[in-house]
Amino acid sequence: MKLNHPRADIFVPAGGDKIAALARVTHLCIAAHQDDIEILAHAGISDCLDQPDKKAFGGVVVTNGAGSPRTGPYSNFTDKEMRSVRLEEQRRAAALGGYAIQLQLAYPSSDVKTSGHSGVAADLAAIFAGCSPEVVYLHQPADKHDTHVAVFLRCIEALRALPADKRPKHVVGGEVWRDLDWLVDADKVALDAGRRPELAAELLKAFDSQVTGGKRYDLAVMGRRLAHATFHTSHATDALAGITWAMDLTPLVTDPTRDVADFTLAHIDRLRTEVAERLAKFR
Ligand SMILES: [Zn+2]
């Protein structure tokens, strides 16, 4: 497998052959930045740790981390230094989380935001050609971070380009910047992110350059998972200790003609209808 960017990084935490490690992957997350995987796909990481003989987690980070915010001890770091810090942080998370493989494609955000960028498209095609994941975790299309949405779109393009029988059966988009609590319950996919809380905290803290300046993603992500589990239903006791909400994106992959914007906006329309109907009922 050849990745196109000269600074692309392939890391197999347990050592051994990269091609074989990728081929084992059953749960694949493709995200924009270092730490997004650990925020949105903890359920997948846990699934694989629960069944190490049957399941294996693969992580892909598309951008290079050069534009990351930096504070405290990192405030004077150059973009180049920041790239290498973030690369190492992601490798550390992959080792902690027992990932089969961690790929970092090393593109600047501007490349990812370019529709049809040949390097990004070729890398994603090579990754999907090298494994047969049961489930793919992506950013969700209503995220408010431009690079997240761009990575989501590049991934949908790559999945649609696969032969129909090679397309994964289950594709979900998880929350990072903007949560998905606003979806109507029928549209919500509950990812069980309440398992292995100690590991979850360690995974988030692996990104020291991001949490050390006071942006406590480690606490905020754990708090959001707990809040979602508690507020999911008013009458039931909490079945899950933590939830990451996700949107089912499989219809966008099984039907390549489906318009991405129409698909996404239909979720907002369903929320609008639900709110209007409840108000009308008691007026
Ligand atoms: Zn991100």
> What are the tens digits of pLDDT across the range 12-38?
999 999 999 999 999 999 999 999 999
Q: How far, in Å, from the CA of 131 to the mean position of ligand 1?
A: 24
> What are the tens digits of pLDDT across the range 75-92?
889 989 999 999 999 999
Q: How far, in Å, from the CA of 40 to the mean position of ligand 1?
A: 10
Q: How far, in Å, from the CA of 89 to the mean position of ligand 1?
A: 14
Q: How far, in Å, from the CA of 278 to the mean position of ligand 1?
A: 35
H or E element that contains 248: strand 243-248
Min mean pLDDT across 63-72, 192-201, 266-275 is at: 63-72
> What are the tens digits of pLDDT across the range 89-110?
999 999 999 999 999 999 999 9
Q: How far, in Å, from the CA of 268 to the mean position of ligand 1?
A: 23
* Mean pLDDT rounded to a whole number for the chain: 95
Q: Is the pLDDT of residue 62 over 90?
A: yes
pLDDT of residue 159: 98
Percent of the chain, pLDDT > 90? 89
> What are the tens digits of pLDDT across the range 198-229?
999 999 999 999 888 778 999 999 999 999 99
Pick the closest to residue 225 from 193, 196, 200, 199 (CA basis).
193
Percent of the chain, pLDDT > 70? 99
The answer to whether the CB of 155 falls within 8 A of the CB of 49 is no
N-terminal to C-terminal alpha carbon distance within the chain: 62
Q: How far, in Å, from the CA of 229 to the mean position of ligand 1?
A: 23
Q: Is the pLDDT of residue 236 over 70?
A: no
User: What pLDDT band is residue 111 in, cutting at 50, 70 and 90?
Assistant: very high
Give the residue ranges of DSSP H helices in 161-259. 197-205, 208-211, 217-231, 250-254
User: What pLDDT band is residue 274 in, cutting at 50, 70 and 90?
Assistant: very high
> What are the tens digits of pLDDT across the range 121-146?
999 999 999 999 999 999 999 999 99
Q: Is the pLDDT of residue 40 over 90?
A: yes
Q: How far, in Å, from the CA of 113 to the mean position of ligand 1?
A: 14
Q: Is the pLDDT of residue 186 over 70?
A: yes
Burial class (CB in 10 A: 0-12, 13-18, 19+), 66: middle
Q: How far, in Å, from the CA of 191 to the mean position of ligand 1?
A: 19
Q: How far, in Å, from the CA of 258 to the mean position of ligand 1?
A: 26
Q: Give, as residue ranges, everything with CB less than 5 Å from ion ligand 1.
A: 32-33, 36
Q: How far, in Å, from the CA of 235 to the mean position of ligand 1?
A: 34
Q: How far, in Å, from the CA of 242 to the mean position of ligand 1?
A: 21
Mean pLDDT of 180-202: 97
Per-residue CA distances from 119 to 61, 88, 108, 154, 270 (Å): 14, 23, 11, 11, 37
pLDDT of residue 214: 75
Measured CA to CA, the distance from residue 88 to residue 94 in angstroms comes to 10
